[in-house]
Amino acid sequence: MVQIEQDILSKNDAYAAENRGYLKALGILALNFVSSPGSGKTTLLARTITDLKGDVPITVIEGDQQTANDAERIRATGAKAVQVNTGKGCHLDGHMVGRALESLAPEKNSLLFIENVGNLVCPAGFDLGEKLKVVILSVTEGEDKPLKYPDMFHAAGLMLLNKIDLLPYLNFDVDLCIENARRVNPDIRVLQVSATSGEGLDDWYAWIKSEATQTQSKEA
């Protein structure tokens, strides 16, 4: 069992390294969005694309077990999107992302958003070649999730605390949630946002722009 797991992960790492080399050569910032189902990944991506598409080209890889719903929601914003259905699988892997990149053919210095399958467990262990994992936690899920699913919060560089427009209706302790996230990952950045009301999105866009500037290819 352990041997099989090691073989799968080392094969995945080889594909992920290939993707990372391809993205780096083109100066593309790739972000891997991970969360439990329904935290608001697609809503946030659609809003982000609508607000940023005038500044930078954006392409999207959508991962779900079934349906093309999320890719259709992204295409409605005008961005190019590829849907990957994992069937019985519960995460995207490096090989799937490599094949999706072939059909997306993203532009130099563009942004690539990868929406992983809604699952707070195994997407943490699969490198896709992204620069960073962005974990989205919505305020309806409970403050304790970083402690219960530490691998994911440990693997992420940024946590977006989403649906803050709902805070007046909930007993959710924002400070305790952030403290829990920092217990498993002292370096994690945290931004509080609402994908529907737009609160906090300016900070999110500033973060993306700063990461993109560091990633862009300097060659003409």
Ligand X SMILES: Nc1nc2c(ncn2[C@@H]2O[C@H](COP(=O)(O)OP(=O)(O)OP(=O)(O)O)[C@@H](O)[C@H]2O)c(=O)[nH]1
Q: Which stretch binds Mg ion (CB under 5 A): 68-76, 97-105, 146-154, 200-208?
A: 68-76
Q: Which is nearer to Mg ion, 12 or 42 (CB)?
A: 42
Q: Which stretch binds Mg ion (CB under 5 A): 69-77, 136-144, 196-204, 208-216?
A: 69-77
- 64-93 residues in contact with ligand X (CB under 6 A) are 70
Smallest CA-to-CA distance from 197 within 79, 38, 47 is with 47
- 6-65 residues in contact with ligand X (CB under 6 A) are 35, 37-43
State the nearest-atom distance from the C-beta of 34 to Zn ion, in Å: 11
Length, in residues, of the chain: 220
From candidates 91, 131, 133, 163, binder to ligand X by CB under 6 A: 163
User: Binding to Mg ion by residue 48, rule CB under 5 A?
Assistant: no
User: Binding to ligand X by residue 194, rule CB under 6 A?
Assistant: yes
Q: What is the size of the binding site for ligand X (CB under 6 A)?
A: 17
SS3 of 106, please? coil
Bridge partners (DSSP) of residue 213 are: none
Q: Which residues contact 87 (CB under 8 A, 6 or more apart)?
A: 65, 66
Question: Which of the listed partners (Zn ion, Mg ion, ligand X, none) does 91 bind, with a CB threshold of 5 to 8 Å by partner kind?
Answer: Zn ion
From candidates 68, 90, 147, 166, binder to ligand X by CB under 6 A: 166
Burial 116-151 (b: 16+ CB within 10 A, else e): bbbbbebbbebbbbbbebbbbbbbebbbebbeebbe
Give residue for tokens 């910032």: 29
Q: Which is nearer to Mg ion, 40 or 146 (CB)?
A: 40
What whole-number distance in Å separates Cα of residue 143 and Cα of residue 46?
26
The residue nearest ligand X at its CB is 118
Smallest CA-to-CA distance from 208 within 4, 35, 11, 48 is with 48
User: Binding to Mg ion by residue 41, rule CB under 5 A?
Assistant: yes
Structure-token pair, residue 2: 């352990």
State the nearest-atom distance from the C-beta of 172 to ligand X, in Å: 13
